């Protein structure tokens, strides 16, 4: 029995070391006073980890695509271009808050690629299909608050992120002031009204944002906190707190 236990521990240690070795190149460590560094850190994680990385076991983020009608679906995209607009770390209670800002692309697509999810609220009436397919780009702000615990493993501190709270604001501008006798402005108005109506049928927090934000929880389970946050000599992880923001909204805890 003792021999088997030693083998299991050895395999676990090797697997963890391989994980760290593979992901180490994507991590930027930041001091608690450097917001620009945190923005670079997020971008590196977004591009190399949070959108998926098969080499380290992070699943690929799938765009949310839901059924619309007439053989079409609606696809929501934009997280692949998201930027860190705010970060806040609190020690009492322990919470990590991130604010992301991104272009929200709402696009009607043919349903030939994959089976589309059913919307939360079914569409009662779908206008006859027109060409080209409808599309609109607005903006979105996503506030993510992770309660966390600090865990010590083999002398290193890890941040264990718990289930996140999400605030998702979809900004689709009201273009009713556009001149409808202008072909371009009339088309933009039509698309914006369509986009606004479409997003009323889905829970963007659960289906658009959550599959992406959970990726960070998976990542933080495997890497010690010092790989993300560097301390000054007078700082300790257990009472660390800082806050930076460029966001236009305040998130709810």
CA pair distance 189, 182, nearest whole angstrom: 10
CA pair distance 193, 177, nearest whole angstrom: 12
- Is residue 141 a contact partner of residue 100, using CB atoms and an 8 Å limit? yes
CA pair distance 67, 72, nearest whole angstrom: 7
Q: Assign residue 82 a region (left: φ > 0; alpha: ψ between -120 and 50; beta: otherwise).
A: beta
Q: What's the average model confidence in pLDDT over 211-218? A: 94
The pLDDT score that the predictor gives to residue 151 is 96
Average pLDDT, the chain: 86
The pLDDT score that the predictor gives to residue 130 is 65
The pLDDT score that the predictor gives to residue 128 is 61
The pLDDT score that the predictor gives to residue 6 is 35
CA pair distance 231, 27, nearest whole angstrom: 16
Answer whether residue 10 shows pLDDT above 80: no
Give the whole-number percent of the chain exceeding pLDDT 70: 85
Task: Give, in degrees to the nearest 5, the angle at Cα 192 between 188 and 194.
Answer: 120
CA pair distance 246, 253, nearest whole angstrom: 18
Nearest to 201 by CA among 52, 14, 34, 74: 74
Domain boundaries, the chain: 7-245
CA pair distance 107, 75, nearest whole angstrom: 5
CA pair distance 253, 242, nearest whole angstrom: 16
The pLDDT score that the predictor gives to residue 56 is 78
CATH of domain 7-245: 3.15.10.30
Helices (H), the chain: 2-23, 35-45, 183-199, 204, 210-220
Question: Residue 224, SS3?
Answer: coil
Q: How confident is the model over 139-176, as pLDDT tens digits?
A: 999 999 999 999 999 999 999 999 999 999 999 988 88
- Which residue would you say has higher pLDDT here, 235 or 252? 235
Lowest mean pLDDT among 22-36, 86-100, 114-128: 114-128
Q: How far from chain centre, in Å, is Cα 1?
A: 44
Show the 3-state SS of 23-76: HHHHCCCEECCCHHHHHHHHHHHHHHHHCCEHHHCECCCCCEEEEEECCEEEEE
- Which residue would you say has higher pLDDT here, 22 or 196? 196
Question: Residue 218, SS3?
Answer: helix
């Amino acid at each position: 029995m003792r021999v088997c236990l030693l083998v299991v521990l050895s395999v676990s240690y090797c697997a963890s070391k391989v994980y760290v070795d593979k992901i180490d190149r994507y991590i930027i460590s930041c001091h608690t006073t450097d917001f620009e560094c945190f923005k670079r850190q997020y971008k590196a994680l977004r591009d190399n980890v949070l959108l998926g990385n098969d080499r380290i076991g992070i699943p690929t983020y799938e765009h949310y695509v839901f059924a619309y009608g007439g053989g079409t679906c609606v696809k929501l995209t934009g997280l692949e271009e998201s930027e860190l607009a705010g970060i806040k770390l609190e020690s009492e209670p322990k919470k990590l808050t991130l604010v992301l800002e991104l272009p929200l692309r709402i696009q009607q697509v043919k349903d030939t690629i994959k089976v589309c999810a059913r919307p939360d609220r079914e569409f009662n009436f779908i206008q006859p299909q027109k060409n080209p397919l409808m599309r609109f780009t607005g903006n979105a702000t996503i506030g993510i608050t992770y309660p966390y615990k600090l865990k010590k493993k083999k002398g290193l501190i890890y941040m264990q992120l718990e289930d996140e709270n999400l605030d998702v604001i979809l900004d689709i501008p009201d273009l009713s002031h556009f001149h409808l006798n202008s072909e371009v402005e009339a088309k933009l108005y039509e698309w914006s009204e369509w986009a606004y109506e479409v997003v009323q049928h889905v829970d963007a927090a659960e289906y658009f944002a959550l599959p992406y934000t959970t990726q960070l929880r998976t990542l933080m389970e495997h890497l010690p906190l010092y790989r993300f946050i560097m301390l000054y000599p007078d700082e300790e992880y257990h009472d660390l707190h800082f806050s930076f923001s460029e966001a236009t909204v305040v998130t709810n805890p």
